Structure 1
Amino acid sequence: MATAPANNLPLFYKDLVPLSSVDHADYHARSLDTAEFLVGQHAIPLTSDEFVSAGRYFPIVFSSGENPVPLALMGLNEGVNVFVDDQGKLINPVYVPAYVRRYPFMLARLNPDSEDLSLCFDPTSPAIGKFEEGDALFADGQPTEPVNSVLEFCRTFEEAGQRTSMFVEELKKADLLMDGEVAIQPEGNDKPFIYRGFQMVDENKLRELRGDVLRKMMQNGILALIFAHLFSLQLMREIFAEQVRSGKVPELIQVPAV
């Protein structure tokens, strides 16, 4: 259900440059009604802070591999997003993951020997450039209030990312993650569509956890996140049904979902 970007840049980003009061003194940022970068993106990184809000709309799974990350599924098949149209406009009001709202900005480490993060942006985005409309990024050589707000949002996102990493580490430590599989039997089809290639919490192992471990997970909020993840998996069938309605179901029966 989710594949890593082909290059070293994060998902969505085609290029990344540090925001500069010299190089971008006359740049503006404008709001867009569409997000073309979302078209065809079926799995979006999610922070644990967002599980409750996102779980109302999207199935939440974990990517495969040794370093899994939570993902909000906007489609069950690669290249399918049932929440946006062909121009990238939301079809219905839904929760928009912070990873999406952060684009085209992000905090990045420019010097591998330093822990300092700098505010960067994707210069290929139509939301930022040398145009008159929108919010100025700098005034008298200083960042404007919109830039400061973006910087604070990106900092908050990074902090949420750290909490998410700790959450996943706790799941791994308790050996709760397992390879997931979902079989969906469409009406009138003699064989089910089988989706694999993701991880999920093993409910059997969750039930077998020692009482002291469960108590700790309840106290630190991890148990609530686990339940939000498990409840959200019921939405996979709704996503599949929407793919059927929109004619975006592949002919293959064995479908690598991530």
Structure 2
Amino acid sequence: MSEASASEMEASWGFIRLQRASGVAILTLARPASRNSLSDGMMADVSGALTELADDASVRAIVLDAEGPVFSAGHDLKEIQAHRSDNDRGRTYFESVLARCSALMTQIVRQPQPVIAAVEGMATAAGCQLVASCDLAVAGAGARFCTPGVNIGLFCHTPMVALSRSVGRKHAMEMLLLGEWVEAPEAHRMGLVNRIAPAGEARSLALELAQKIASKSRVPVKLGKAAFYTQAEMGLDDAYAYASRVMAENMMARDADEGISAVIGKRTPQWEDR
């Protein structure tokens, strides 16, 4: 999908931009002046856009990117500190904002379409959590990642959840305990990102991957994404039993019949998404 075609169906929200074209949606964090922090407004807009896209059968994959030199700096610390003067010193707000952030990350995992992060610049704290929560991630060569909470007396507890499910435990603990920058090549080696693009081209590569996904039948992609995360939390025997049930269900789909018939007939399958 070209940049020109992507602009055909663009909608502006308060904190994001949303574009649709050729089976792919691009959701752009659009508050570079605030380092695309996950403020109350940003989280509400991203969640609202994902909800809208979940019901859009024409959208088969989603690319999540950002304007400016920072992908996302995590929570809006000024917004958080403003609640220190509350009667409970901010506890109610802190619990609320963390619950809403956790709900957003879970929403990404449960989104029917695969979500691909396209990261240029820095992704820190909950911004790194956002990348780790996506199904795939592409990083520009200059991208950097960090969970720096420990440096300001605040362990990155909630980013830890997504990070520990995305990379190995030793890698996750190193990031969480040291709070140091991880450059794009190391993030790739750790498994935090899938591909590295030349600086400034993460979005283009993410769109290329999204288009490949969009060319598949919607049925196995939707079933497969949900099944992947469900079985990952199970023991081995339960995971195989569950995966077998889901695969049998998938085999009953019209597109599975069509796909197998196309292989046997040595022709290109014609998907109907059912």
Give the TM-score taking structure 1 as reference length: 0.29
* Higher helix proportion: 2
The answer to which structure, 1 or 2, has the higher relative contact order (CA under 8 A, 6+ apart) is: 1
